[in-house]
Structures are given as C-alpha cells and as structure tokens.
C-alpha cells in the first residue's frame, strides 16, 4: 500500500513526493480521474486496481478525520474500477523443473542444501505463502502436521507427507529444538538465530533456479504450482481452497492455470450416445 500511495502521490504532483507528506485531503474528482487514467496506462489491470483501492482507503481516512467534507469525499472517490482482460501474473512450474530444483539442493552437501530442500518441500507440498514459511517455529510441527499462522490471524493445519516430510525432517534433525525453523546460514556453515526474511526466501529460490538451469521464479510461483497441480489431478477445488488458506473460493480460482487443455478434457466428458 505504501508503494502504491507513493506512486499515486507522484502522479498527482508530477514529481516524487513522500506519501506521508502529501496533502491527500486536497484531492478532488478531477485529480482522482487523472490518477485513474495514469495508473491504467502504467500498470497491469490487477496492480492498477490495487492502486485505486489504496487511493480510496486513504481518502476515506481523510473523511473520517474530518479533513474533508462528506461531499468532497464522495466526489473524489466517484470513479470506477478499471475493466479489461488481465494478463496472468507469474508462472506454473513443471514437474521437471521442480525435480531439477530439488536436485540442485541435494547436490549441495552443506547445511544450506538440506535447508533449501526442506524449504522448497513445504512451500510446494503444503502450498505455503513465504510469510507463513518464515514464521514457522519448531513448536508448530508435530508428527507430520504443521500449524500454519496465515493471513488475518487464521490458523490452519498443513500435512507434510511423502518426500516433503523426508526433506523437512532431515532439516529438523540439523536444526534441533531451536526456533524458528528456517534461519540464515553463514559462509562457514553456522546457523543463525533470526528467521529468514521473505526477501531471503526469494533470493534463495532464484539462486537454486539458476543452479538448476531453469527460469527465474518467485515463492508465489511455487504456491501457484501447488494449486494447479492439485487441480490437474482432480482434487476438489474446495479442498485446494482450504489447503492454501484462502478465505474466498474465488481467490483459489485465480490460481487455476490448467487453461485450454482442461477445458478440452472437460468437453470430452460430455457425450451423447445415439
């Protein structure tokens, strides 16, 4: 939101402006329409509408704080969402790419290789967000079950099974009883005490991707791959929703990247025997 508001304040001012110092209450309908037009040109559909959401939110706070009248507020937020076809963000990894990632981790015989394999295993096997991954403590794991502290303080259980459990418990044997689970490792192989940052997770995955000889990826690409692969194997959409920790089923649908192949297969199910 801070980045979105920084972009908007720059658009409105015509120059870089600290969003904390920008006079949001001075914005009028002519300004917000111009902002809408500019974000529609500069960003993808999803990101542009995210900016408009940020704009509406800060204007509402201005009204609540009595920095602008109700009439001025109502006029300023009287703009529509941006419509159109959105381009799909991110990508879905193939099973071959996932195998190459795990092999790249296994070829590293240091602690980092064991840690990164475990990290990739629970990201993919449990469909975790990277924020959920870095917040895991040893106390959150018991006999193949992880307690995940998700968005909005919602708690769900994730089952670590098959190869994922093997990779994960290999790392726990190195990690011991210390918390948190995923920590930094220095050049001489000493484990740190603080949890990895979300940005560190991103860098680690891309370093492994480079070693594996595959295209760059994000932690969310792994999560997106989890959802798509589950749906390809016929897992019920509602089960995938609960596994990913989505509050709304509509959010899970966005993760479905099966595309035209799935539609063709579905059409093939419909048959009239004459």
Binned at pLDDT 50, 70 and 90, residue 263 comes out as low
- Are 62 and 159 members of one domain? no
Q: Is residue 266 part of a domain?
A: no
**What CATH number has the domain bearing residue 102?**
1.10.443.10
Long-range contacts of 80-84 (CB under 8 A, 24+ apart): 80/36, 81/49, 81/52, 82/36, 82/39, 82/40, 82/45, 82/48, 82/49, 82/52, 84/45
User: What is the tens place of the pLDDT at every residue in 83-93?
Assistant: 876 555 678 99
pLDDT at 182: 95
Q: Show the tokens assigned to 49.
A: 């509408």
DSSP annotation string for 42-56: HS-HHHHHHHHHHHH
- Are 119 and 202 members of one domain? yes
User: What is the tens place of the pLDDT at every residue in 156-179?
Assistant: 999 999 999 999 999 999 887 778
How many separate domains does the chain show?
A: 2
User: What is the tens place of the pLDDT at every residue in 58-82?
Assistant: 999 999 999 999 999 999 999 998 8
Mean pLDDT in residue range 39-58:
90
Q: Is residue 90 part of a domain?
A: no
| Catalytic residue IDs | 129, 151, 220, 223, 246, 255
Whether residue 272 is preceded by a cis peptide bond, meaning omega within 30 degrees of 0, is no
Range of the domain at 42: 2-76
Which of the pair, 251 or 167, is modelled with greater confidence? 167
Within a 13 Å sphere around the CA of 188, how many CA atoms are in the beta-carbon half?
1
- Are 204 and 140 members of one domain? yes
Q: Show the tokens assigned to 112.
A: 């980092």
């Amino acid at each position: 939101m801070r980045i979105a508001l920084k972009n908007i304040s720059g658009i409105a001012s015509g120059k870089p402006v600290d969003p904390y110092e920008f006079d949001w209450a001075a914005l009028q309908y002519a300004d917000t329409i111009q902002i809408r037009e500019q974000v529609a040109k500069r960003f993808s559909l999803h990101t542009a509408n995210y900016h408009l959401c940020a704009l509406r939110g800060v204007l509402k706070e201005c009204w609540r704080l009595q920095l602008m009248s109700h009439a001025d507020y109502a006029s300023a937020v009287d703009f529509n969402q941006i419509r159109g076809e959105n381009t799909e963000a991110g990508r879905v990894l193939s099973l071959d790419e996932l195998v190459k990632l795990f092999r790249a981790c296994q070829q590293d015989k240091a602690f980092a290789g064991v840690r990164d394999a475990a990290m990739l295993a629970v990201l993919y096997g449990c469909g975790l967000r990277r924020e959920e991954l870095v917040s895991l403590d040893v106390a959150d794991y018991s006999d193949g079950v992880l307690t995940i502290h998700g968005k909005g303080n919602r708690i769900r259980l994730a089952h670590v099974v098959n190869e994922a459990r093997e990779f994960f418990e290999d790392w726990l044997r190195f990690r011991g009883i210390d918390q948190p689970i995923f920590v930094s490792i220095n050049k001489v192989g000493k484990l740190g005490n603080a949890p990895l940052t979300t940005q560190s997770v991103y860098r680690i995955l891309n370093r492994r991707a480079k070693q594996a000889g595959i295209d760059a990826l994000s932690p969310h690409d792994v999560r997106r791959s989890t959802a798509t692969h589950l749906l390809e194997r016929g897992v019920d959409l509602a089960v995938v929703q609960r596994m990913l920790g989505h509050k709304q089923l509509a959010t899970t649908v966005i993760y479905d990247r099966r595309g035209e192949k799935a539609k063709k297969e579905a059409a093939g199910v419909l048959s009239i025997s004459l």
